Amino acid sequence: MKEEKGENSPFVKFIGTAGARFVVMKQLRSSGGVWLSSGRTHLYIDPGPGALVRCLSSRPRMDPSALDGIVLTHKHLDHSNDVNVMIEAMTEGGFRKKGVLFAPEDALEKDPVVFNYVRGYLENIEILGKNSQYRIGDISFSTALRHKHGVETYGINFTLASHTISFISDTRFFSELPDLYQGEVLVINVVRREPVGDDPIDHLSVEDVKTIVRTAKPKLTVLTHFGMTLTRAKPWEVAAELEKELGVKVIAASDGMKLNLNEV
Ligand SMILES: [Zn+2]
Angle, vertex CA 131, rays to CA 122 and CA 249, nearest 5: 95
Number of H helices, E strands in the chain: 9, 15
Q: CA-to-CA distance for 239 and 197, rounded, in angstroms?
A: 21
CA of 124 to the centre of ligand 1 (A): 24
Determine the pLDDT at residue 244. 97
> What b/e string do you get for 115-131 counting C-beta neighbours within 10 Å, with b at 16 or more?
eeebeebbeeebbbeee
Question: Strand runs (DSSP E) across 105-172, as ranges?
Answer: 124-128, 133-136, 139-142, 156-159, 164-168
Asked if pLDDT for residue 5 goes beyond 70, the answer is: no
β-strands 100-104, 164-168: how paired?
A: unpaired
Whether the model pTM is above 0.85: yes
Residues 6+ apart with CB under 8 A from 236: 251, 252, 254
Asked if pLDDT for residue 1 goes beyond 80, the answer is: no
Determine the pLDDT at residue 171. 97
Asked if pLDDT for residue 102 goes beyond 50, the answer is: yes
Q: Which of 147, 91, 96 is nearest to 114 (CA)?
A: 91
Determine the pLDDT at residue 15. 97
Torsion, Cα 131 133 134 139, to 10 degrees, reads 110
CA of 262 to the centre of ligand 1 (A): 30
What pLDDT digit, counting tens, does each position of 164-223 carry?
999 999 999 999 999 999 999 999 999 899 887 888 889 999 999 999 999 999 999 999
Determine the pLDDT at residue 3. 41
Helix (H, G, I), strand (E, B) or coil at 202: coil
Determine the pLDDT at residue 40. 95
Question: Taking the CB of residue 65, how many other CB atoms lie within 10 A of it?
Answer: 14
CA of 2 to the centre of ligand 1 (A): 39
CA of 108 to the centre of ligand 1 (A): 16
What pLDDT digit, counting tens, does each position of 11-57 carry?
999 999 998 888 999 999 999 999 999 999 999 999 999 999 999 99
CA of 201 to the centre of ligand 1 (A): 10
Ligand 1 ion: Cβ-proximal residues, 5 Å cutoff: 76, 170
CB of 107 closer than 8 Å to CB of 79:
no
Asked if pLDDT for residue 6 goes beyond 70, the answer is: no
Determine the pLDDT at residue 4. 44
Determine the pLDDT at residue 7. 61
CA of 209 to the centre of ligand 1 (A): 17
CA of 78 to the centre of ligand 1 (A): 7
CA of 74 to the centre of ligand 1 (A): 7
CA of 139 to the centre of ligand 1 (A): 24
What pLDDT digit, counting tens, does each position of 223-258 carry?
999 999 999 999 999 999 999 999 999 999 999 999
CA of 19 to the centre of ligand 1 (A): 8
Q: CA-to-CA distance for 62 and 184, rounded, in angstroms?
A: 25
Asked if pLDDT for residue 163 goes beyond 70, the answer is: yes
